[in-house]
Amino acid sequence: MILVETGFMSLLEEFLDERESGKPYQRCSMSRLRDHLSEADRQDLDAALADDRFTGAAIARRLNKVLGDNAYGIKGNTVQRHRNGVCSCPR
């Protein structure tokens, strides 16, 4: 761990300040993609995300095949980050 003394806020305080500044969060590509799906397709995607039998790469391949350019070029690691809750979506 690297500690840098700035004489100002701690790094955690900086993060909290950023969050509380009212700046909008950028939702991840998976979340933005869901906005363009029908309710039935959203439910299907959510079911696939919840099912460990489907890898992130497999989900991404199918999204890109079916949705083409509307899939935002989703990659397997993007699916996995969203699936694991470590994407840029606000919590």
Instruction: Specify the pLDDT at position 44.
Output: 96
pLDDT for 53 equals 96
Number of residues that this document lists for the chain:
91
- pTM (2 decimals)? 0.69
pLDDT score at 2: 46
How high is the pLDDT of residue 41? 93
Angle subtended by helix axes 76-83 and 39-50, to nearest 10: 80
Predicted pLDDT of residue 1: 43
Would you call 59 exposed, middle or buried from its count of C-beta atoms within 10 A (0-12, 13-18, 19+)? Answer: buried
pLDDT in tens, 2-53: 444 555 667 777 766 665 555 556 788 898 898 889 999 999 999 999 999 9
Q: Domains of the chain: which residue ranges?
A: 26-83
CA distance 43 to 49: 10
Query: Is 87:81 a contact under the CB 8 Å cutoff?
Result: yes
Q: Give me the pLDDT at residue 19, please.
A: 56
